[in-house]
Amino acid sequence: QQPVQSPQAVILREGEDAVINCSSSKALYSVHWYRQKHGEAPVFLMILLKGGEQKGHDKISASFNEKKQQSSLYLTASQLSYSGTYFCGTGGSQGNLIFGKGTKLSVKP
Amino acid sequence: NAGVTQTPKFRILKIGQSMTLQCTQDMNHNYMYWYRQDPGMGLKLIYYSVGAGITDKGEVPNGYNVSRSTTEDFPLRLELAAPSQTSVYFCASGETSGIFYNEQFFGPGTRLTVL
């Protein structure tokens, strides 16, 4: 089942923080985060695994709550370059992911 | 490395026509994926492959076929194109260092319109 992302959209000023949430009705073993800029392909940000292991971006952090079946992406001191649509993906052990509908982030000067 | 390349970049098809979207990767990844993305929507997995000769269905496989004869290539075939297949198609390849641990690299996409 498709994970649910919130909020659908957020507008920030440079330097402000944002949190993007991803929830699933199914048990999660991993959560994958990607960012897509307008007209471009998605780009990998992070993977969070059950058990706490994670791999990813050095300026973006995330959490993974297995009991709540939820992940949150934390964007701190946002920069103009953070603008884009953020997608979380959940699912299979072979990278066969189901993605959420995305959260559109706009960072203004 | 060129990464993941897709051809064509744009294509307009008439209803009922067929075509093949090409995808090639030069990173020696075993995992490859085809997604479609409708305007303002997320990515939907069409088919994926975990190695040459092995393919499996994703969320939305109807109307599509794939093959994987080599590690590098993963073409997507559309038979009898329909307006509902108007979308942007992304191919991706993935490396893994463990189960569930799969970072995907996306190609630039093919924008397909069916009229």
Contact yes or no for B105 and A30 at CB 8 A: no
Q: Which two tokens stand for residue A62?
A: 């995330």
Burial of B103 (0-12, 13-18, 19+ CB in 10 A): buried
The residue of chain B with its CA nearest to that of A56 is B103
Q: Using the structure block, give the residue that is written with the tokens 């706490």.
A: A52
pLDDT for position A12: 95
Contact yes or no for B42 and A100 at CB 8 A: yes
pLDDT tens digits for range A42-92: 999 988 887 766 666 667 888 888 888 899 999 988 999 999 999 999 977
pLDDT for position A96: 85
Q: pLDDT 10s per residue in chain B (115 long)? A: 789 999 999 999 999 999 999 999 999 999 999 999 998 788 999 999 999 999 999 999 999 999 999 999 999 999 899 999 999 999 999 977 666 667 899 999 999 999 9
Q: How many CB atoms lie within 10 A of CB A13?
A: 9
Q: Using the structure block, give the residue that is written with the tokens 């498709």.
A: A2
CATH number for the domain running over B4-109: 2.60.40.10
Residue A85's CATH number:
2.60.40.10
The residue of chain A with its CA nearest to that of B51 is A94
Coil vs helix vs strand at A109: coil
Domain count, chain A: 1
Residues of A in contact with B41 (CB under 8 A): 101-102
Mean of the pLDDT values across residues A10-32? Answer: 91
pLDDT for position B97: 65
Distance from CA of B100 to the nearest CA of A (A): 4
Pairing relationship of beta strands A9-13 and A103-108 according to DSSP bridges: parallel
* Domain residue extents for chain B: 4-109
pLDDT for position A50: 77
pLDDT for position A57: 66
Mutate to test the interface with B, among A94, A103, A104 (most CBs of B within 10 A): A94
Q: Which domain holds residue A98?
A: 4-108
